[in-house]
Structure 1
Amino acid sequence: MEITASAPHSASMSKKDRRVIIAASLGTVFEFYDFFLIGLLAAEIARVFFSGVNPTAGFIFTLLGFAAGFMLRPFGAIVFGRLGDLVGRKYTFLVTIVLMGGSTFLIGVLPSYETAGLIAPIAFVLMRMIQGLALGGEFGGAMIYVAEHAPTNKRATWTAWVILTAAVGFLLAVAIIIPLRLSMEPAAFMAWGWRIPFIVSILLLGISLWIRLKLDESPEFKKMKAEGRASKSPLAETFGHWKNLRLILIGALCILPAQAVLWYTGQFYSLFFLTKVLKVETLTANFMLIIATVLTAPLYIIFANLSDRIGRRPVYIGGYILAAVLTIPIFQGLTHYANPALQRAQEMSPIVVATNPADCSVQFNLLGTSKFTSSCDVATNAMTSLGLNHTSVARTDIRVAEIRVGDKVIASYQGDAPNAAEEKKRFDAELRAALIEKHYPLGNANPDDVNAPAIVLLLMLLLSFGTITFAPSTTSLLEMFPSRIRYTAMSFPYHLSAAWFGGFLPATAFAIVAATGNIYAGLYYPVGIAIACTVLSLIFARETKGTDISRG
């Protein structure tokens, strides 16, 4: 009879095992620190690397740069998953951390768009892709490494500690960024201060390498090697057998997409919404998110433990249902408590943008060479830049777009007209006067109106959806596959889902908001995926709690 790789029901980890697993988790902290910097410094990066495009497109480009790292994660999962199944977990960890740390450091020393032109954004996206390639081999490996040590009845609880380090990585990133923002003049931070968090990652790389070199190989992998059970062709076994491929598709398309978008909605989109839409001062928004992250961190362990007791499937499906029902009301609550003056103005004097569809363009241009000068483009860009909720109305009977603020009408203008400069002054002045008259707050939200305790509670509720679903869903995934191909078979669907659903969340949601004018429209993306995954998981997903993961 084959000895199981996971500990028996009553077993506990030795002190040495705990030390090894803590070391693996600490390496993951640094991996996620590197990856989160882009999202937290999106505004600065947009100005440095994408200054040649209009502000709306520049911010979308930055978010797509964020997504570019995700695009390579599935390929990293294949490359490093195969390596991990062939030569072992430890050596794969060393390669991924060097790639991640090196590319992050280089972002900090890249030239700006003003200095190098298109070379700057191309180099930035290239570094992001290298980061994604490395992370594709990192996270799944750490999860598997812990799971192969864990007692059977505590598998999700133990792997939740690795998941928890993702939040710790976020906290580490803001712990460096916030003091820099507080201690530097805004102009200096914009000029060079934003580079410091990337440059200091070289120190984190050194620490991570020291930690990784102290790791022992997974006992299950060593056992497989000794018994001659290790796979000689992990890719062929993973993708060449329908049984395994079917499980990959179930994981990547039915279970994990909702987990990915819900986690990134709470950890990233909430910050974008508070700062870009509700105009909460950046440091204040970061502090509130930090507090909510710290307070919800234990929930990763609590809900993982619950899934060890009652099963993975009911826990993550329950989280998806809660998220589908509550996400949009939570963001509406954030508006109420973060910027009540804005909410009142929107209710009393709604903004309507009337345009002739033939006059409108899709404001997205890869090379930044197009000029968006029609009256529709001018009006739409003005609303997007202000981040104000508005309704778009198509009217074929007008030649020049109009913005209605309550009963006030402001005519737009042609951006390429001979008198465009004078018209811009007139348009900006009239729009500003109308917004002020209708009590729309311009600039940052009034600090006295920001109800921080209520916002923190709402953020905690939002973040809890990720804590409910993360450990149960990912533990279920790794329990689906035999140990001989687990690194490849688990990493690929996880990172495919994280890349193509979670990674594109910020850019997709922002683009939806920019296109519709509805500040809540971007939330239809995570809510829709949560609903779809609830239905698909009920149909296709099976319970994996208690699975013998030493099989194969």
Structure 2
Amino acid sequence: MSQDKTRGGNGMVIAGASVGTVFEWYDFYLYGSLAGFITQHFFSGVNETTGYIFALLAFAAGFAVRPFGALVFGRLGDLWGRKNTFLVTMLLMGLSTFAVGLLPGYDQIGVAAPVALIVMRLIQGLALGGEYGGAATYVAEHAPPGKRGLYTSWIQTTATLGLFLSLVVILVVRTMLGEEVFKAWAWRIPFLVSALLLVASLWIRLRLNESPVFQKMVDEGTTSKKPLTEAFGQWSNLKLVLLALGGLTAGQAVVWYTGQFYALFFLEKMLKLDGALANTLVAIALILGVPFFVVFGWLSDKVGRKPIILLGCLLAALTYFPIFKAITAQANPALAAATATNPVTVIADPADCAFQFDPVGKKAFTSSCDVAKGALATAGVTYTNQAAPAGTLAVVKIGAVEVSGMDGTKLAKADFAAAKTAWTKALGADLAKAGYPAKADSALVHKPAVVGLLFLLMFYVTMVYGPIAAALVEMFPARIRYTSMSLPYHIGNGWFGGFLPTTAFAMVAATGNIYYGLWYPIVIAAVTVVVGVFFVKEMRGANIDA
């Protein structure tokens, strides 16, 4: 490895790359943290369930294009340098995030509002697709022998710190201005703050020099002229890309997003916790977990990357169901008690039940089954399904109490709306009598226990994520490293991970079981364990200069 000439030495390398990446993750994750407000302002023209799924889809759109950003900026990083490339990605990220804070809502410009929002998300996703690979490669190529896992683990802290920073800024603004003001317009402030972070992070990164490994290749004339062709057109390297995806990053991604994003969605959407409280509990767990990224990065220098990553995936797959059920019991004990003592069943003709996601957002779900399931989903009540004879009216069974459904198929639109409101109110009263709370009582939340369970999820995250950068850097040759490692990382985290909240929520909405969405990360994590154990080679300590 060539001698580092960056001002401040290796400490400056880690700090510069890490601080800039924190700000990029802050920008990217603001959207996820504010998904509920995004729904209200940009998707208010559709029904509530569809609007929330649309908001999650717009969130996922930023992840969908990350592999394409990896291709575009990965190629540039292998052609004209690590540093120059992640300066460009940072500028794109900062400007698009600032623009989200200025976009008019659906009530002002109609359908153009969500379209403009999604365009900004796509730009963010493209930029992030080029950012991570550059930062991880840059730091790894500065690291001294035997400390590559330790050095790159600081980059691994940045995603969590960026999420933590976004939660803190949101909490501060909410507390200072109040919920009503925040809901009306102040939710935009955290997006606008990104302009200040952009200026600071650009200043820091401009002080860095190019990676010594890349500079050495430039001096010797050995840089790749066609990094995309070399990375994906040759089976020897393409095979490594596929193994990195299936045996490392896919499982790492779903564990990461379950432990951080889905946990927050679960608290707010399924368990009906107050938003500020849910953000606070998650933020505490995140900050408690951050040091373990470095611990597991350091440990991977001693025992290897693969064992730690795959053990984290295995533990997650085995324990997610009991952990999330314990979170329910501690965060909303009234809901847990009611679910146990007075379980809810929807008894309906299967032909009467639709999958309640309308891409146009204008369809009315008027059958007795759809009205019942829609009301229960909105109330956050878990239910099971039981088939009834064809043509019969749906029945909602709450413990031993049976509530006849409401058939609105023959009602005029105005009459249906009034009848549905009255029926839903009556159902809510019956649910309340059975012990189902409309919202979680913040006073009854066992906050230390919830933080402890969230920290356990976070601990798994640190296991799979702490060593991943070093593992990926070591798998690929220097001349095409930026391109090669970026694609499997961003397919894993952009597609398998990024679509997790949307997919899991849709699975819950379709089945009525608030835990059913966990099958998505469990299955993918388990597949990664199998692929990783049998096909991925441990590369700890490999020469990365060549």
Same fold (TM over 0.5): yes
Tell me what 1:43 maps to.
Answer: 36
1:423, distance to aligned residue in structure 2 (A): 2.6
CA shift digits 1:481-513 (9 cap, x unpaired): 110000000111100111110000000010011
- Of 502, 511, 518, 2:506 maps to 511
Within 5 Å, give how 1:9-408 maps onto structure 2.
15-408=8-401
Report the equivalent of 1:436. Answer: 432
Q: Does residue 474 of the first structure (1) align with residue 469 of the second (2)?
A: yes
Q: Does the C-alpha gap of structure 1 residues 492 and 347 become closer, same or farther in structure 2, counting only changes over 3 Å? A: same
Query: What does the per-residue CA deviation read over 1:44-97, in whole Å, with 9 as the maximum and x for residues that have no partner?
Result: 001111111111111111111111001111000010001010011111111101
Query: What SS class does the counterpart of residue 402 from structure 2 fall into?
Result: strand
Instruction: Say which is worse superposed, 432-441 or 490-499, in terms of deviation.
Output: 432-441
SS in structure 2 of the partner of residue 153 of structure 1: coil
Instruction: State the secondary structure of the residue aligned to 2:543.
Output: coil
Closer, same or farther in 2 for the Cα pair 1:314/1:421, shift >3 Å?
closer
Instruction: Supply the AA of the counterpart residue of 1:294.
Output: I
Q: CA deviation at 1:127?
A: 0.7
Matched, 1:423 2:443: no
* 2:332/2:445 contact within 8 Å kept: yes
Query: Structure 2 vs 1, CA of residues 31 and 282 (structure 1 numbering), >3 Å: closer, same or farther?
Result: same
Mind listing any 5+ residue stretches in structure 1 that lack a counterpart?
A: none
Quote how far apart the aligned CAs of 1:320 are.
1.1
C-alpha offsets along residues 209-235 of structure 1, whole Å, 9 cap, x if unaligned?
Answer: 212211111111111000011111101
Partner of residue 538 from structure 2, selected from 518, 543, 551: 543
Task: Mark the CA change 1:415 to 1:485 in structure 2 (over 3 Å): closer, same or farther.
Answer: same
Distance 2:391 2:169 in 1: 52
CA-to-aligned-CA distance 1:93-125 (integer Å, 9 cap, x gap): 111011101111111111111211111111111
SS at match of 1:293: helix
Residues 420-456 of structure 1: CA deviation (Å, up to 9, x unaligned): 245324412321221121111122x122321111111
Instruction: Give the letter for the 1:438 counterpart.
Output: A
**What is the identity percentage for the equivalent residue pairs of Structure 1 and Structure 2?**
50
CA 1:430/1:77 → structure 2, altered by over 3 Å: closer, same or farther?
A: same
Residues 391 and 516 in structure 1, CA contact (< 8 A), matched pair in contact too: yes
CA distance in structure 1 between the partners assigned to 2:178 and 2:279 by the alignment: 18
Q: Read off the aligned partner of 1:19 and give its amino acid letter.
A: M
Distance 1:170 1:544 in 2: 30
Whether the 8 Å contact between 2:408 and 2:416 is mirrored in structure 1 is yes
TM-score by length of 1: 0.96
In 2, Cα distance between the equivalents of 1:180 and 1:398?
52
Amino acid at match of 1:256: T
Structure 1: distance between partners of 2:399 and 2:526: 36
Gap change, CA 1:425 and 1:91, over 3 Å in 2: closer
1:413 is aligned, of 370, 394, 406, to 406
Matched to 1:475, the amino acid is A
Q: How far apart, CA to CA, are the structure 1 residues paired with 2:361 and 2:391? A: 29
Unmatched runs of 5 consecutive residues or more in structure 2? none
Q: One-letter code of the match for 2:438?
A: L
Matched AA of 2:247: C
- Per-residue CA deviation, residues 290-342 of structure 1 (Å, 9 max, x unaligned), is 11111111110111111110111111111111111111111111011111111
8 Å CA contact retained: 1:141, 1:487 = yes
Task: Report the counterpart of residue 453 of structure 1 in structure 2.
Answer: 448
Distance 1:421 1:517 in 2: 23
CA distance in 2, matches of 1:336, 1:433: 22
Secondary structure of the equivalent of 2:386? strand
Q: Distance in 2 between matches of 1:14 and 1:35?
A: 29
After superposing the two structures, state which structure 1 stretch, 264-273 or 370-379, moved more: 370-379
The 8 Å contact of residues 180 and 189 in structure 1, kept in 2 or not, is answered as yes
Alignment-derived partner of residue 489 in structure 1: 484
| Amino acid across the alignment from 2:406 | Y
Distance 1:120 1:410 in 2: 41
Task: Give the drift of 1:14.
Answer: 8.8
TM-score (norm 2): 0.97
Give the Å deviation of 1:383: 1.1
C-alpha distance in structure 1 between counterparts of 2:326 and 2:318, whole Å = 14
Q: CA RMSD in A?
A: 1.6
Deviation at 1:13, TM superposition (A): 10
Cα contact 1:413–1:420 (8 A) shared by 2: no
